[in-house]
Structure 1
Amino acid sequence: MNPPNTGSRAPFFIVLILLLVITGVQFFFNFRGLSSDAAMDQAQIARNVARGEGLTTHRIRPIQLIADSSKSGLNPLLSDAQLREQEAILAGQGKSLVDAENFSPYKLRDTRYAPLNILVEAAVFKLAGIHNYELWKMTGDSMIYLPDRIVAAVSAIFFILSVLSCYYVLRRMFDTTIAGFTCLTMIFSNLFLQYATSGLPQMLMLFFFTWGVHFLYTALVNDQENRKFLWPIVFSAICFSCVCLTGWIGLWPMAGFLLFVGIRFKPHGLYCLPVLVILLLFLAYPVYINKTTSGSIFGTAFYTICTGLLGSESTAMKALVFGDIPIGAQTAVISIINNIITQGNILYENLGHLPLALVFLLALLHTFKKKPVNQAKWGIFSMWCLATVGMALYTANKTEISIGQIQILFSPFFTAFGTAFVLNLIARHSKEAAPVLRGGVLLLALLVTALPLLLNLPQIVRVGILTAHRGIPAWPPYYPLGISQEVRNQTQAGDFILTDQPAAVSWYADRKTLDIPSLVSHFTTLERVLSFHGGKVGSILVTPSSTMGRDIRAVSGYYGEFAPLVLEGSILGQTRDKNPVYIFNHSGALSKLAERFGQSDSRQFIMGADMILYRDLQQPGPAHQD
């Protein structure tokens, strides 16, 4: 490795120009609106924050609704007789069974997400005026919801900042060649570009993670030069704590950071104390709110463990109590082991298809000349090992973008170490041909990453220009125009919507939503909670989210007694023109609901039978307003 060349700025400007151009192409020509449930969910919470309502959510998760209601003193799982007895006792004490100050489904605080990304979006929303829904409602023939672009712009800005930060940090650790090459692979990686406009918190996490590594490296340099290293460790701890506050999955690499600091810096274990203090200070308020709201310091974020154990987070969130979640001890252990192995199998894909990133595992066996660089690799490895365990628990191990998949945070540093290792081997064993081999290896590795994007780039630009006036929505399953216009116009502000697409409806229609449960008795219990606060489920929306990627058996297993409801659209799509079959009306388990939502004029067809809004025409909605 050569020392950094402070005289030439050409590599930096090449990286900067390509970064802006490629990010611009992705944002302006290839963006189809938000396609992540979590991104929409965080966006609707951010809009509530911008309105001054705090971290409240329109999306009502059954397990949180029951837990928060019970914590406030109203346990909906009790019988009517028990509730009347409790009400009489409280009345004697001058209290009420229903206390809207302690709990209200209309002001349910989110305990699922880490708050930092939401707060950043909320600040942007406030400046742009997105908290006023009427100013940003979809009009004309545009198929892309404009606030989607603003959410994506926040991610894109932090992607740009992250790449530039990586350039600075890696140039300091290695040299200009390695820093420039690593940043180019990030710019041309399809996975990085997807995250860059996804609205997910990964780019904000990458920004803080990069600077956390920078200050950790500074501490190692200072220690080698017998200078004070406490403050760099403190700044590094602050950065990694911000990673945790951006996504709770960040607590796992933070544990790896603690482990490395405790072992590397002497006296052993002493420097873990300021790191722990900083982390606890950052987590204090969210933990306090979770505890006072739901009785658990983890809130509903705890149940995301079911993403790795069961393959679906919503399986746990749809349950009423923890005992309803089908997790067995033996199954859990087997799932964790399988998921860790799977993380290894799909490592290349989740690192962004960067070939030299995988060489990092070989670079661990290599001793770099710069001692701080050599030690930094073990710090990154320690964080990655713990993060892999966390991802095995909190992700479904798929290769598409996910809020719990953070391999991408390590990708730039894996690539830099892997590149440095390869270049060192070339310089050591082939001195005469080293320049040609170096250039050939780097060019080949860059082409492997960039070729898929470069081959599709003309088509992306052409389609983007032709559809610029309307845009192409992420359909199926998301249809913002239909949700923001037809669903919103056909529902009342105080009603809750039962849907298989709760995040999208909460974001695009600005309505309160409930996940579709698997049992009618669970629905009855949930609506019972709402009734105590003057609310009810006023409509049901079924979309392709119910059936995409699932056969009939999978749909039946996931939706249980509600399977006829979510399958009705598919059946009507085949029979509607001749002899329509309304299986919702013929389900015994759903007979009571069919009386409310299955009348001949209850159904509102959106995008044909692909999206159906079932309205309750029997009862007026509550008087709550936006």
Structure 2
Amino acid sequence: MASLQDLIHRFEEGGSGRYLKYGLVFLLVAGLFVRFNFVGYRNLNTQEAMDAAQIARNISEGKGYTTQFIRPLSLHLVKERYMSTHGGVKEPGADIYRIKELPHPDLANPPVYPVVLATMMKVLPMRYEPDGSRPFWSVPYQRSEEATTEMPRRFWRHQPDFMISFFNQILLLVVVLIAFNIARSVFDVNVAWLSALLLICCEYLWRFATSGQSTTLLMLIFMMIAQCLVWIEREEREPHWRSSAQMWLAIALGLLVGLGMLTRYSFGWLIIPVMVYLGIFCVLRRAPILVTVFTLFVLVATPWIVRNWMVSGTPFGTSSYALIEGTPVFPEHTIQRSLNPDTSAVGLRLLSYKFFTNLRRVFQDDIPKLGGSWLPFCFLVGLMLGFRNPALKRLRYFLLGTFVLLILVQVMGRTQLSEDSPDFNSENLLVILVPLVFVFGSGLFFLLLEQMSIRLRPLRYGVIILFSIIISLPMIFALTVAKTAPVTYPPYHPPFINTVSKWMKESELMMSDTPWAVAWYGRRQAVWLTLDAKEEFYAVNDSIKPVRCLFFTPQTIDVKIVSGWVQSGPQSWPSFILEFVSRNILPPRFPLVHAPQPRGYFPSFFVLTDRERWKVEGGKTNRVDLPQTQSTETRPADGKSNTK
């Protein structure tokens, strides 16, 4: 009978062992896909993901790069651009805000990710209506009397959300394959297999993939850049291809950095470490390579910057204000919700305050959580070691320089989006380094393993397996604990959002504290909640476009009593809701006076409309699927006003 050591040797060296290895990898990946999506999947729950998704749908339906999520700041920029190009004179009947006759152009998102999603939506079958009938997408009601003809089962998963998540998981697998190839090039096959295994079992990356954000695509672009840098450096030392290979790689690098910038604007800063790397390590064709990379980068990015300038008078639309967001003058989402922001008060002192405050957060929270495991600490230690392989040393220099640069960019670009979703947000740039961090961390582990001088091969494999299990514990816990409910309420409940939105015509405007959800799940134009319930609201309603519905979610309703309700001021939206719910009082001449009973679905949601839109023929009321059982009888508000 063959010994255990002989079996391991056959597994490593034999041809059948290679196929067995690939088969085990396939089973592992397939099992992770099925199990994670069954127990760990959640519908989209971030502003960035829903915003990109609704833009992608507009593109796929031939509506151009337009949005139904209307930021007041975007209205301001479009108006200012119109006035500057027309000499400060408004033409009679002109739609200077581009919101009445024409779809509003999106000024917040770079185009690559929405265009990629739009292509996917064209190819794959998408059912945008919340599904309340078919298994997997819905589950039985706990009480049979809750079921209706329209909704025989309870909503559970949103099909387009799931398809977007699945698509990003495929991108994650491609990232792992590139990481495997890089690790095999600069280390060896053992490091390649270990790093690929740990990346596949990294729960942190799977959460980012299922979030629906552009992070996984950006990570893929970064890994392709890293692969091109490894190849172009190798061609400098030991040519493997034709003499023109370096120039083709330079073209690819310029295109990739440009596409990365058009996936997330802050990624454009990566042109600096790329140019430095090429300038130092590509000596034979330094000048043509640098010129080619920078020229292609500029050619890719410039048309979109020109488009933004033509529409808004800014190079990056509303993202141009990210530097001053989060300062004491513009806390939370203040500037995005402002119709006429005054940025003159923001100076060097406030920017310095933002820098040092966020720098502390990065070192206290973001870096320790990088990768969601302990392996990044091995990477940090490995940076201090000396390597003989020149390709490995040079890739380490690039990674270290990029790491420092992205810390600075992330610190200054941090906004309220990072507070709304601290763990998984589009402003986390360091996460794109995780695959290379795992490669270097795995390399350090094997260096330490060699120092242990373990001669027994089974014991050596035992140490590797134990290390892999420890690093993969977050994924193990995620796959074995109780199933996570995919519904992301509070604050999002797609069936309710969809039902209320259908009360409006496609050309009518809603106002909401979560307009990205109304745009994605409800397919209606929704402006972000103005800064107050008086002057700014009437500025939108009277001068821009009439608001037909107010839609509040627990994001506004479920706030702290003292700071959110009592101290927020008489003109704040929490005070507005409190006055209506407790005393049935609305401000004078307020145009929205009708509320479904009880109290506009408060406290689950809060809805006010200009008329009883929920009524159908015969005076009956449409059934509304709330996240918790409530009566759906209706009554109008009495229209009382506090006109003392």
TM-score w.r.t. the length of structure 1 is: 0.82
Match of 1:418 in 2: 441
Letter in 2 for 1:211: M
Q: 1:438 and 1:316, CA in 2 relative to 1: closer, same or farther beyond 3 A?
A: farther
- 1:537 matched to 2:559? The reply is no
The match for 1:561 among 567, 571, 576 is: 571
Deviation at 1:317, TM superposition (A): 0.7
Partners of 1:68 and 1:101 in 2: CA distance: 6
For the 8 Å contact 1:308–1:339, the answer to whether it is kept is no
Question: Structure 1 residues 65-74 or 412-421, which shifts more?
Answer: 65-74
- 1:452 matched to 2:474? The reply is yes
Q: How many residues align?
A: 571
Partners of 1:373 and 1:559 in 2: CA distance: 59
Match of 1:182 in 2: 195
The match for 1:255 among 272, 297, 310 is: 272
Letter in 2 for 1:597: L
Deviation at 1:473, TM superposition (A): 0.8
Question: Structure 1 residues 143-152 or 308-317, which shifts more?
Answer: 308-317
Partners of 2:398 and 2:380 in 1: CA distance: 13
Partners of 1:170 and 1:529 in 2: CA distance: 59
Match of 2:400 in 1: 381
Match of 2:255 in 1: 238
Q: 1:348 and 1:390, CA in 2 relative to 1: closer, same or farther beyond 3 A?
A: closer
Partners of 2:434 and 2:254 in 1: CA distance: 20
Look up the SS of the partner of 1:297 in the other structure: coil
The match for 2:609 among 575, 593, 615 is: 615
The match for 2:289 among 271, 286, 308 is: 271
Residues 163-216 of structure 1 show CA distances to partners (whole Å, capped at 9, x for unaligned) of: 222223322322222222222222222211111211111111122211111110
Look up the SS of the partner of 1:614 in the other structure: strand
Q: 1:208 and 1:74, CA in 2 relative to 1: closer, same or farther beyond 3 A?
A: closer
- 1:407 matched to 2:451? The reply is no
Q: 1:435 and 1:17, CA in 2 relative to 1: closer, same or farther beyond 3 A?
A: same
Look up the SS of the partner of 1:323 in the other structure: coil
For the 8 Å contact 1:244–1:254, the answer to whether it is kept is no
Partners of 2:122 and 2:576 in 1: CA distance: 37
Q: 1:449 and 1:226, CA in 2 relative to 1: closer, same or farther beyond 3 A?
A: closer
Q: Structure 1, unaligned stretches of length 5 or more?
A: 77-81, 91-95, 465-470, 573-579, 620-626
Letter in 2 for 1:542: F
Match of 2:453 in 1: 431
The RMSD of aligned alpha carbons is 3.4
The match for 2:381 among 356, 362, 369 is: 362
Letter in 2 for 1:330: R
Letter in 2 for 1:295: G
Partners of 2:547 and 2:471 in 1: CA distance: 49
Partners of 2:567 and 2:292 in 1: CA distance: 49
Deviation at 1:24, TM superposition (A): 2.5
Match of 2:113 in 1: 117
Partners of 1:192 and 1:549 in 2: CA distance: 31
Residues 447-475 of structure 1 show CA distances to partners (whole Å, capped at 9, x for unaligned) of: 33322332342344xx47xxxxxx64111
Match of 2:538 in 1: 524
For the 8 Å contact 2:81–2:312, the answer to whether it is kept is yes
Look up the SS of the partner of 1:64 in the other structure: helix
Partners of 2:56 and 2:343 in 1: CA distance: 31
- 1:290 matched to 2:300? The reply is no
Letter in 1 for 2:476: L
Match of 2:59 in 1: 49
Letter in 1 for 2:123: L
Partners of 2:72 and 2:98 in 1: CA distance: 18
Q: Structure 2, unaligned stretches of length 5 or more?
A: 1-11, 134-149, 614-644
Question: Structure 1 residues 474-483 or 157-166, which shifts more?
Answer: 157-166
Partners of 1:197 and 1:316 in 2: CA distance: 29
Match of 1:351 in 2: 370
Match of 1:477 in 2: 491
For the 8 Å contact 1:505–1:513, the answer to whether it is kept is yes
For the 8 Å contact 2:112–2:263, the answer to whether it is kept is yes
Deviation at 1:604, TM superposition (A): 6.9
For the 8 Å contact 1:260–1:382, the answer to whether it is kept is no
Q: 1:518 and 1:103, CA in 2 relative to 1: closer, same or farther beyond 3 A?
A: closer
For the 8 Å contact 2:173–2:200, the answer to whether it is kept is no
Q: 1:215 and 1:472, CA in 2 relative to 1: closer, same or farther beyond 3 A?
A: closer
For the 8 Å contact 1:35–1:478, the answer to whether it is kept is yes
- 1:597 matched to 2:592? The reply is yes
Partners of 2:599 and 2:275 in 1: CA distance: 55
Letter in 1 for 2:234: V
Look up the SS of the partner of 2:507 in the other structure: coil
Partners of 1:312 and 1:137 in 2: CA distance: 40
Partners of 1:523 and 1:452 in 2: CA distance: 46
Partners of 1:525 and 1:105 in 2: CA distance: 19
Look up the SS of the partner of 1:158 in the other structure: helix
Partners of 2:338 and 2:96 in 1: CA distance: 24
Look up the SS of the partner of 1:518 in the other structure: coil
The match for 1:33 among 38, 43, 46 is: 43
Match of 2:390 in 1: 371
Match of 2:623 in 1: none
Partners of 2:570 and 2:183 in 1: CA distance: 52
For the 8 Å contact 1:114–1:248, the answer to whether it is kept is yes
For the 8 Å contact 2:359–2:411, the answer to whether it is kept is yes
- 1:330 matched to 2:352? The reply is no
Q: 1:134 and 1:563, CA in 2 relative to 1: closer, same or farther beyond 3 A?
A: closer
Deviation at 1:232, TM superposition (A): 2.1
Match of 2:616 in 1: none
Q: 1:292 and 1:52, CA in 2 relative to 1: closer, same or farther beyond 3 A?
A: same
Deviation at 1:409, TM superposition (A): 1.3
Look up the SS of the partner of 2:549 in the other structure: strand
Letter in 1 for 2:115: L
For the 8 Å contact 1:74–1:98, the answer to whether it is kept is no
Match of 1:581 in 2: 582
Q: 1:274 and 1:10, CA in 2 relative to 1: closer, same or farther beyond 3 A?
A: farther
Deviation at 1:566, TM superposition (A): 6.4
Residues 307-329 of structure 1 show CA distances to partners (whole Å, capped at 9, x for unaligned) of: 55469662221122341587443
Q: 1:75 and 1:275, CA in 2 relative to 1: closer, same or farther beyond 3 A?
A: closer
Match of 1:622 in 2: none
Residues 66-112 of structure 1 show CA distances to partners (whole Å, capped at 9, x for unaligned) of: 21023223999xxxxx99xx45xx5xxxxx45057977574111121
For the 8 Å contact 2:373–2:472, the answer to whether it is kept is no
Residues 253-298 of structure 1 show CA distances to partners (whole Å, capped at 9, x for unaligned) of: 3332223223333376763322211111111221121011001111
Question: Structure 1 residues 271-280 or 431-440, which shifts more?
Answer: 431-440
Look up the SS of the partner of 1:498 in the other structure: strand
Letter in 1 for 2:480: P
Deviation at 1:124, TM superposition (A): 1.8
TM-score w.r.t. the length of structure 2 is: 0.80
For the 8 Å contact 1:144–1:472, the answer to whether it is kept is yes
Deviation at 1:305, TM superposition (A): 3.1
Match of 1:467 in 2: none
The match for 1:70 among 37, 55, 80 is: 80
Partners of 1:278 and 1:151 in 2: CA distance: 30
Q: 1:244 and 1:548, CA in 2 relative to 1: closer, same or farther beyond 3 A?
A: farther
Letter in 1 for 2:303: Y
Look up the SS of the partner of 1:314 in the other structure: coil
Match of 1:505 in 2: 518
Identical residues among aligned pairs (%): 19
Look up the SS of the partner of 1:538 in the other structure: strand
